[in-house]
A and B are shown apart, each in its own frame.
Chain A
Amino acid sequence: MNGPGDPPRDPPQRPAGLIGRKPGDRRVRVDRPRAAYFRYEGPGVLVARAKASEPTTPLGKTLARIRRGLLGRPLASEEEIGERLSKRKALAIFSSDAISSSAYATEEILRVLVLAGAAALTFSLGIAIAIAIMLAVVSTSYRQIGYAYPNGGGAYAVGKANLGRYAALIAAAALLVDYIMTVAVSTSSGVEQITSALPSLSPFNIEIGVLAVGIITLGNLRGIRESGNLFAIPTYLFVGSALLMVVLGVVRIVFQGAGGPPPNPLPAAPVHDTVATVGVLLLLRAFAAGSVALTGTEAIANGVTAFKPRPSEAHNAAQTLTAMAVLLAVLFVGITFVAHHFGVVAVDDPATGKVQQTVVAQVASLVYGPDSPGFYLFQVFTALILFLAANTSFNAFPRLAAILAQDGYMPRHFAFRGDRLAFTLGILLLGGISAGVLLLFRGETTALIPLYSVGVFVSFTISQGGMVRHWRATREAGWRKRMGINAVGCALTGVVSVVVLVAKSPESLLVAVIIPTLVALMLFIHHEYESQAQELEVRPDAVIGPPHREERVVIPVPGLTRAVVTAVNFGRSISDNVVCVHITDDLEAGERVRARFERQLPGVPVVIVESPFRSLVNPFVAYLDVTYTDPSVVTIVVLPEYVGRHWWDRVLYNQVTNRLRQALVGRPHTVIATIPYRRGS
């Protein structure tokens, strides 16, 4: 049985009949060579089987085996899982990003406040409550998006539908940046949870972070589905253990009077010592730092279609979104409350400057007991949910990139699914950039935070603004109230965007540069695709007639070989005007070639081009330039090519042919045809 790429089969021999049990009974088994590669689907329609996509060369087969070992067997499109999620599973799947931010949001607030001294730390709880209120507003606004866009209301989609492409592209660019930052921040924070429990690993935090990103990337290339149980377990373990920690901490503080002042002296050098000197800017910076807790809030509104349809996808998504917001608010405010009363502040290693023990790890240590199983388990759960949060970006980023590619704003390769139904290029790009960001910022969460959440609030603002336009345009029942909610959300997130940008400057300004740069790049790509589409368009009313241009065939020949004969015969089959061109630095040898052609291939003119400078390619191209100047004539350059059997044959043969091909690609009115001659044919 032969497949595509294999040598042609010998003419089929008549199969011998098989003798039946009764005299005279005979049957013949019919070989169906096509059946292994294609399945008949209907008249003129064949479906390629997996075997048809398999490589045929030994090198290709080896690479495919390695890829299969790493990534798993290729999946057919129909194998894509279309499972609808229950609210419980969806909460775990879509909320890991948002809920996990409670593991580092408190720490970021305290890191800013500690600069103003111990007294400033009292503001941490108020800031946490303010952020929780903002979370309530944003989640209420996003509930409405879920109802209005049950097919998935990402900021890009909402912006495109209501505010035009520029707003949509700004939202898309902001989200792309933020997905990268989510991976970097979640991974670095996850690693810090590990090193908080095992300080001896602290010097290797960058390596562990990059390794974690590599593993998540590889897992996603294998097509890890956000399958319910796998994702639900770590999320609920973290939520359960964190809630227990908060409850135990509150009980001890309220009923047992536990707690204590912050360490004296504070680990960070205070610049001020009294509450009176805590400026508005410092509070705004703390607020901006803690607002990272809101990242990931939009995930549920983006994935409404994944919910079960009863009573409706939007209803289930809205309930899940509320549950997520409540959980996040309780955990965030609760952890901040306990940390504040226990006098916990972020502690860095004075020698390395790296995080010694995270705030949430210190709270766990105080509540569960240092070196207790409860502490270590909590750290494991926290690290797991943080890595899981990084993984959600690996789902969102490639999908957004694919949507942008389909709309022509990113290279089309981003819309292609790989063997495992995953958007391979988007996953690789996200993994590569995130690992680079981790390396650049030495895997330190605090160093990454200023770049984080700017994009989120920009996309929040655009989607809320888009919703205001949506309600005004549709005027559905209760549109005034709904528009009011989204308008409040838009105004609030818009203000917070500016606050975050200013408060986290100058680092955050980098994002303010990256986002417009990305928008400009996407517009450039779109312009290129549009131009190409216009150039290649065939008008629907156009009727294409038969070709009427004259064709001439030119064949560069090194001598008379079987490969050349095959190429000449091909050339003669498509045109009567065939010329062989022999470039040589030895005129006498050239004349011998011509004589041989006249003797063995009569009727095929041979032009000898003497090249005293021994160059082969340029004289041939120059010959084409000077001899065929009529644009109404198509020049077909037929290149004889010897096809070897081994990979090293590529090194030994066809070097001139390859150079000629490269020199001729793009030449106007020129077609290049490569005629392979297989060894043994």
Chain B
Amino acid sequence: MLPFAPMPDSQPAVTVKRVVLGLSGGSADPLVVRLGCQLVRGQRAELIGVHVVEVDWSHDLSEDISSGNELAAAILDHAEGAAEDFGATLQTSLLQARHPGAALVDEAVALGADIIVLGLPYRTRFGGDFAIGRTVPYVFQNAPCRVLVAREQMPVENRPLAPLGDRVGASA
């Protein structure tokens, strides 16, 4: 069961040849895969899932820290399986980089992607402000192609109240 409501099946609104999906391993990944599959449906377009393992400065960038990493394999393999469920083929690419946003943009440019699709789990910082992270803003600012961000549904308790006049039982 997917953790979101099904989207209406529709013809693609844009013509694409290559779509890069940014897969973080978070709860928004299924949404990203589904969105990517809908974008390429009916088109001869490639779907490439990219997961970037962030390497901190205590390790050399070329040090192999992710080839035996089960988590990275799980993220890409699960995305591939989800794409198959939607009838699409997802190629996968595993990267190591200091900055996931920069690596994603550079990879998308190298692959000649038309669109980058990212997922954004709804997360608040210490229960307060909505935390957008640093990858999405970086990709927004630097990607030369189009960028789609699918944000997860907001939990009910965090939803803003409707304007006063719209509330049921509000008096004039």
Contacts and interface: CB of A to CB of B under 8 A. Distances in A.
Given A20-B103, A25-B103, A30 B64 contact: yes
Interface stretch (A8-16, A296-304, A433-441, A592-600): A8-16
A39 B81 contact: yes
B46 interface: no
Interface stretch (B10-18, B68-76, B160-168): B68-76
Contacts of A22: 102, 142
Interface string A21-42: 1100111111111110001111
B96 A27 contact: yes
Interface in B116-150: 142
A35 B73 contact: yes
A27 B70 CA distance: 20
Contacts of A612: none
A400 B17 CA distance: 49
A12 B67 contact: yes
B138 to A, nearest CB: 10
Given A18-B110, A27-B103, A39-B81, A34 B95 contact: no
B114 interface: no
Contacts of B110: 18
Contacts of A27: 52, 61, 95-97, 102-103, 106-107
A306 to B, nearest CB: 24
A14 B52 contact: no
B73 A25 contact: no
Contacts of B99: 25
B106 to A, nearest CB: 4
Nearest to B65: A30
Contacts of A16: 62
Nearest to A76: B84
Given A20-B106, A21-B106, A35-B73, A30 B62 contact: no
B106 A28 contact: no
A35 B63 contact: no
A4 B5 CA distance: 42
B103 A32 contact: no
A545 interface: no
Contacts of A25: 97-99, 102-103, 106
B95 A28 contact: yes
Contact of A14 (B64, B73, B105): B64
Interface residues of B, number: 33
Contacts of B106: 18, 20-21, 25, 27
Interface in A14-68: 14-18, 20-22, 25-35, 39-43
A30 B63 contact: no
Given A25-B102, A30-B53, A40-B70, A17 B94 contact: no
Contacts, number: 79
Contacts of A30: 53, 64, 66-67, 72, 94-96
A25 B108 CA distance: 14
A12 B70 contact: no
Contact of A15 (B62, B81, B98): B62
Contact of B62 (A20, A28, A42): A28
A30 B52 CA distance: 10
Contacts of A12: 64, 67
A39 B77 CA distance: 6
Contacts of A26: 61, 97-98
B27 interface: no
Nearest to B71: A40
Given A12-B67, A35-B73, A17 B95 contact: no
Contacts of B142: 21-22
A40 B63 CA distance: 23
Contacts of B98: 25-26
B77 A41 contact: yes
Nearest to B68: A34
Nearest to B64: A12
Contact of B67 (A17, A18, A32, A42): A32
A35 B92 contact: yes
B109 A40 contact: no
Given A18-B110, A27-B106, A40-B77, A32 B62 contact: no
A35 B68 CA distance: 11
A34 B67 CA distance: 9
Contacts of B80: 39
B111 to A, nearest CB: 11
B43 interface: no
Contact of A35 (B76, B95, B105): B76
Most chain B beta-carbon contacts within 10 A, residue among A17, A26, A35: A26
A14 B96 CA distance: 12
B153 interface: no
B67 A28 contact: no
Nearest to B97: A27
A29 B93 contact: yes
B96 to A, nearest CB: 4
A21 B105 contact: yes
Interface string B46-65: 00000011000000011110
Contacts of B102: 20, 22, 25, 27
A228 to B, nearest CB: 22
B61 A28 contact: yes
Contacts of B66: 30
Most chain B beta-carbon contacts within 10 A, residue among A14, A29, A31: A29
A14 B103 contact: no
Given A27-B96, A30-B67, A32-B94, 11 more contacts: A21-B106, A21-B109, A25-B98, A28-B61, A28-B62, A29-B94, A29-B95, A32-B76, A39-B80, A40-B70, A40-B74
19 contacts: A12-B64, A20-B103, A20-B105, A22-B102, A22-B142, A26-B61, A27-B61, A27-B96, A27-B97, A27-B102, A28-B96, A29-B95, A30-B67, A30-B95, A32-B76, A33-B67, A39-B77, A40-B73, A43-B70
The 8 closest A-B pairs by CB, nearest first: A27-B103, A20-B106, A27-B97, A30-B94, A40-B77, A40-B73, A28-B96, A14-B62
